[in-house]
């Protein structure tokens, strides 16, 4: 059996969708951002449809119906300048699953 992979990190929220390159497609992905007024958590689980997710913020919990999380497998490796980079894998965070200009921590898990 393969060992689980766990990766953590931070990113700054944006008003546009952005990719988080993990090197794997997560089975579970969670973000948490904190401001002076609120703690906001966004969650994605592999059985959810693309572009969806869920959020929790100060008792306000709901499903994200669009512009949420979408896993991506990246493209095939390409040859450029004599190097062959590996295909990237990770998750795209849509505009409904992040807070613009807020530092956000994430936890990504691949069960292996």
For residue 87, what pLDDT is reported?
58
Per-residue pLDDT band at 88 (split at 50, 70, 90): confident
Among candidates 23, 24, 20, which has minimal Cα distance to 10?
20
String of b and e for 17-26 (b: at least 16 CB within 10 Å)? eeebebebbb
Global confidence as pTM: 0.84
Mind listing the pLDDT tens digit for each residue in 37-72?
Answer: 788 999 999 999 999 999 998 778 899 999 999 998
What digits encode the pLDDT tens for the residues 75-86? 555 555 555 455
């Amino acid at each position: 059996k393969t060992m689980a992979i766990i990766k953590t990190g931070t990113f700054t929220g944006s008003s546009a969708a952005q990719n988080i390159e993990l090197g794997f497609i997560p089975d579970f992905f969670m973000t948490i951002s904190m401001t002076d007024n609120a703690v906001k958590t966004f969650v994605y689980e592999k059985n959810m449809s693309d572009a969806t997710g869920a959020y929790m913020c100060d008792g306000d919990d709901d499903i994200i119906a669009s512009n949420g999380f979408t896993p991506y497998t990246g493209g095939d490796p390409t040859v450029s300048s004599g190097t062959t980079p590996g295909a990237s894998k990770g998750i795209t965070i849509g505009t409904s699953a992040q807070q613009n200009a807020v530092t956000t921590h994430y936890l990504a898990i691949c069960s292996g």
